[in-house]
């Protein structure tokens, strides 16, 4: 017997200036169902949820709760329809108490005066509903609680209203295993009570452990809705990565890049770890070699790079450079050691839009020299012109502001910035994202050239074929662990997908 769906979303459309974030997306949730929403970066998961909770108004399509059309205009409005959300980053108020965080905006009052005793009671009841074993002190300041407790508080808050739909947006991304288990048992209890739960996560194990149904999005479009029991892992991974399962089976092994043997190891990473971003990991970076990092979103790809470059200091393990153990605790230190890093998001942490190409290129050089030594203008001009020519940056002059360049050319400017300091190791995090096909090929060509000149490169990309084409060795990551290291002929899309889905 199939009952009437709890929540239906049909043909949802949402655009932002320059991007169509959601294209004709359908989503159906039944009561007593845990429904996983899956997809890689930019798939539209967050946007879909924000449309559902009224953070963004939808541009088109229809939404109904138990058959009644709804137009939530704000998170608070959505709560009135019975839709409650626990966001990815725990969205609570750190300086207020647990009790206040559960009851903020719904405090019991008499003549406008808050009855603190009743507020605390209500908070205790809301927490009791989660049947947590250890009591949480409702009078503790939230920022003094662990992330796991904060998460429970957020859920308690979400359930304090009569929610019919609970959205959990990557709730386990900062929890350890025991904490996640506790969350799953809460989810199971809520499910039994007939609540519909939308579960956004990128941990495959967890999806198969708790979900009844899976909806996959890619690039703002619906790939499909599947029953969790009937969708094999490999197929799920393939669909998230935009491949078809049959295609995966057919994928040819690519011709292995001939590698010279006996390459010198430049950097050895031993048991490097940081809580909440990457579990202890080992790998070597060799001279004249590209090491690829493959894995799904949240597997620890970018996190590994960030720990290596000192953006987030490691809390364990060591980095050996030329056989000497070295601490890399800041990007400045990393740069002094000869590391360069092209970040995932060039808009926010890469280019300085209002400076010229030349100024952007000499930036890392200047940072390495320190603020007191000026690079002579002639030399700066020569360097800039050299790179504009070498990388074929299309611009009328070196004085052009970077913000006026296309995405691909901006990316080249940042690469030039790092090349100017002659790094031994260049980390490339999503070097071709949002770049047209032509420029993409040029950047891949450049990667090969740098490798052949003896540079060591670390390549991170969510485009599997890009990793496969350009890497001599590939680390496969899943759930913040290294699960395999492939080399030479073993590197293929099929092999990587199978490894991830294992």
Partner 1 sequence: MKRRHLTLLANALVLLLLYGIGGVYFKNFLTLRVFVNLLGDNAFMGIAAIGMTFVIISGGIDLSVASVIAFTSIFIAQTVHDGLHPWWAMAMALCLGWLFGATQGWLISFFELPPFLVTLSGMFFARGMGYIVNDVSLAIKHGVYSQTIRNLAIPLAKNVRLPFTAQCFILFILAGTFLLAFTRFGRYIYAIGSNEASARLMGVPVHRMKILIYALSGFCAAASGCVVTFYMQSGNSSSFVGLEMDAIASAVIGGTLLSGGVGGVPGTFLGAIILGLIQALISFHGNLNNWWAKIFIGILLFLFISIQQLLSRRLRAAR
Residues lying near partner 1 in the complex (CB under 8 A): 55, 74-76, 79, 85, 87, 91-96, 100, 104-105, 107, 109, 112-114, 116, 141, 144, 157
Cα–Cα dist 343/430, whole Å:
7
Helix, strand or coil, per DSSP, at residue 488: helix
State the nearest-atom distance from the C-beta of 248 to partner 1, in Å. 39
Cα–Cα dist 491/102, whole Å:
50
Nearer to partner 1, 118 or 233 (CB): 118
Of 261, 309, 322, 249, which Cα lies nearest the Cα of 289? Answer: 261
State the nearest-atom distance from the C-beta of 401 to partner 1, in Å. 25
Nearer to partner 1, 50 or 478 (CB): 50
Contact 358, 384 (CB under 8 A): yes
Nearer to partner 1, 86 or 214 (CB): 86
Kindly give the pairing relationship between strand 83-86 and strand 165-169.
parallel
Cα–Cα dist 462/439, whole Å:
17
Nearer to partner 1, 74 or 379 (CB): 74
State the nearest-atom distance from the C-beta of 112 to partner 1, in Å. 6
How many C-beta neighbours within 10 Å does residue 413 have? 28
State the nearest-atom distance from the C-beta of 83 to partner 1, in Å. 12
State the nearest-atom distance from the C-beta of 77 to partner 1, in Å. 9
State the nearest-atom distance from the C-beta of 161 to partner 1, in Å. 10
Beta bridge partners of 320: 268, 325
Sheet holding 473-478, edge to edge: 339-342, 425-429, 456-460, 289-294, 473-478, 481-487
333 to 239, 308, 337, 342, 426: CA distances (angstroms): 40, 11, 6, 16, 14
Nearer to partner 1, 109 or 254 (CB): 109
Cα–Cα dist 274/398, whole Å:
40
DSSP symbols for 434-461: T--HHHHHHHHHHHHHHHHTT-EEEEE-
Cα–Cα dist 60/10, whole Å:
9
Nearer to partner 1, 88 or 221 (CB): 88
Of 343, 312, 309, which Cα lies nearest the Cα of 326? Answer: 309
State the nearest-atom distance from the C-beta of 108 to partner 1, in Å. 11
Nearer to partner 1, 100 or 429 (CB): 100
14-46 burial code (b ≥16 CB/10 A, e <16): beeeeeebbbebebbbbbebbbbbbbbebbbbb
Nearer to partner 1, 88 or 381 (CB): 88
State the nearest-atom distance from the C-beta of 498 to partner 1, in Å. 40
Nearer to partner 1, 81 or 226 (CB): 81
State the nearest-atom distance from the C-beta of 141 to partner 1, in Å. 8
Nearer to partner 1, 141 or 381 (CB): 141
State the nearest-atom distance from the C-beta of 97 to partner 1, in Å. 10
């Amino acid at each position: 017997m199939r009952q009437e769906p709890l929540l239906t979303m049909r043909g949802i459309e949402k655009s932002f200036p320059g991007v169509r974030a959601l294209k004709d997306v359908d989503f159906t949730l039944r009561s007593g169902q845990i429904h996983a929403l899956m997809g890689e970066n930019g798939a539209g998961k967050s946007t879909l949820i924000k449309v559902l909770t009224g953070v963004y108004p939808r541009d088109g399509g229809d939404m109904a709760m138990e058959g009644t059309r709804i137009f939530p205009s704000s998170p608070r409005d959505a709560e009135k329809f019975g839709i409650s959300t626990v966001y990815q980053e725990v969205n609570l108020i750190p300086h207020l108490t647990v009790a206040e965080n559960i009851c903020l905006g719904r405090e019991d009052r008499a003549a406008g005066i808050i009855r603190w005793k009743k507020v605390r009671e209500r908070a205790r009841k809301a927490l009791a509903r989660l049947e947590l074993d250890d009591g949480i002190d409702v009078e503790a300041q939230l920022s003094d609680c662990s992330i796991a407790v904060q998460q429970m508080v957020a859920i308690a808050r979400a359930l304090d209203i009569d929610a019919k739909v609970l959205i959990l947006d990557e709730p386990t991304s900062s929890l350890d295993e025991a904490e996640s288990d506790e969350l799953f048992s809460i989810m199971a209890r809520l499910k039994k009570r007939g609540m519909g739960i939308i579960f956004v996560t990128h941990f495959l194990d967890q999806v198969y452990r708790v979900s009844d149904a899976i909806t996959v999005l890619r690039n703002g479009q619906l790939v499909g809705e599947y029953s969790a029991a009937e969708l094999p892992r490999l197929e799920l991974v393939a669909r998230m990565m935009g491949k078809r399962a049959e295609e995966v089976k057919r994928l040819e092994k690519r011709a292995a890049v001939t590698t010279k043997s006996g390459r010198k190891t430049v950097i050895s990473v031993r048991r490097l770890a940081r809580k909440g971003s990457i579990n202890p990991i080992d790998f070597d970076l060799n001279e004249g070699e590209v090491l690829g990092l493959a894995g799904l979103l949240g597997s620890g790809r970018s996190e590994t790079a960030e720990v290596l470059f000192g953006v987030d200091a490691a809390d364990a393990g060591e980095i050996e450079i030329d056989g000497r153990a070295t601490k890399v605790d800041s990007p400045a230190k990393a740069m002094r050691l000869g590391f360069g890093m092209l970040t995932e998001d060039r808009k926010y942490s890469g280019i300085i839009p209002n400076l010229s190409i030349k100024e952007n290129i000499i930036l890392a050089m200047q940072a390495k020299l320190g603020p007191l030594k000026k690079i002579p203008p002639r030399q700066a001009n020569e360097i800039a012109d050299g790179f504009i020519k070498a990388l074929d940056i299309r611009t009328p002059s070196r004085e052009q502001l970077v913000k006026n360049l296309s995405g691909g050319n901006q990316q080249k400017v940042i690469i030039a910035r790092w090349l100017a300091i002659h790094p031994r190791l260049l980390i490339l995090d999503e070097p071709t994202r949002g770049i047209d096909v032509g420029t993409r090929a040029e950047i891949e060509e450049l990667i090969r050239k740098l490798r052949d000149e003896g540079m060591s490169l670390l390549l991170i990309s969510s485009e599997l074929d890009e990793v496969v084409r350009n890497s001599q060795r590939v680390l496969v990551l899943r759930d913040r662990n290294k699960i395999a290291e492939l080399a030479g002929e073993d590197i293929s899309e099929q092999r990587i997908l199978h490894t991830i889905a294992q």
